[in-house]
Amino acid sequence: MTRMKSGNGPSDSDELVVDLPKLQRNTGVPAEISSEWKPDSVRATHSNAILMQVEISLEAVSDRITALGTAILHWTAQCRRCLEATSGSTSIDINEIFEKGASEGETFELPLGEKLDLRPMLAEQAMLNLPVAALCSKSCTGPIDTEFLTNSSPSNTGENPEEFKDPRWDVLDQLKFSDD
């Protein structure tokens, strides 16, 4: 990946902070944003966002700003079966609206100042698209000694009750369906 920037200098992801007056002067003329961003603080229980490659078209439409494009989210995660580190990428469709008095969960608030920072919106997209239960490969069968998992990895219990269920409970499951 030759396009990947090294370091995290002040110029990194500057393209993601957009000049609003300029955009609003050119109503109907989309501004193309192409950038890479390292969302350091975006992580889920078993996965981390590493890099987002962003291709977004921003356009002022009346008093709103529309953001349309794609973000490729690169992540690392812990395989839910063997617990080894794994990585991958997820393509996210971006189709968002920034407006004053945004509706919670539907549109994003347009800031009062002259700068529109796209990163909080992207962080939210990354958060929603991080894998919850990644696999290092579809054929991963996990460690041979599964008892090791239930005994020494408390962070994994409750995540996948089907996989870590004590076989002795099977009897109780059957009872539930035959109590008439």
What residue has token string 């890099």?
51
The DSSP-derived string for 72-112 is: EEEEEEE-TTT--EEEEEEEEEEEEEEETTPPTTTSEEPPS
| CB closer to Zn ion out of 82 and 97 | 82
| CB closer to Zn ion out of 33 and 140 | 140
| CB closer to Zn ion out of 87 and 103 | 87
The distance of closest approach from Cβ of residue 77 to Zn ion in the complex, given in angstroms and rounded to an integer, is 10
Of 108, 123, 118, 110, the residue nearest 21 (C-alpha): 110
Helix (H), strand (E) at residue 174: helix 170-176
| CB closer to Zn ion out of 33 and 82 | 82
Contacting residues toward Zn ion, per CB under 5 A: 79, 81-82, 136, 140
The distance of closest approach from Cβ of residue 82 to Zn ion in the complex, given in angstroms and rounded to an integer, is 3
The distance of closest approach from Cβ of residue 162 to Zn ion in the complex, given in angstroms and rounded to an integer, is 16
The distance of closest approach from Cβ of residue 142 to Zn ion in the complex, given in angstroms and rounded to an integer, is 6
- The three-class DSSP label of residue 167 is helix
Helix (H), strand (E) at residue 180: none
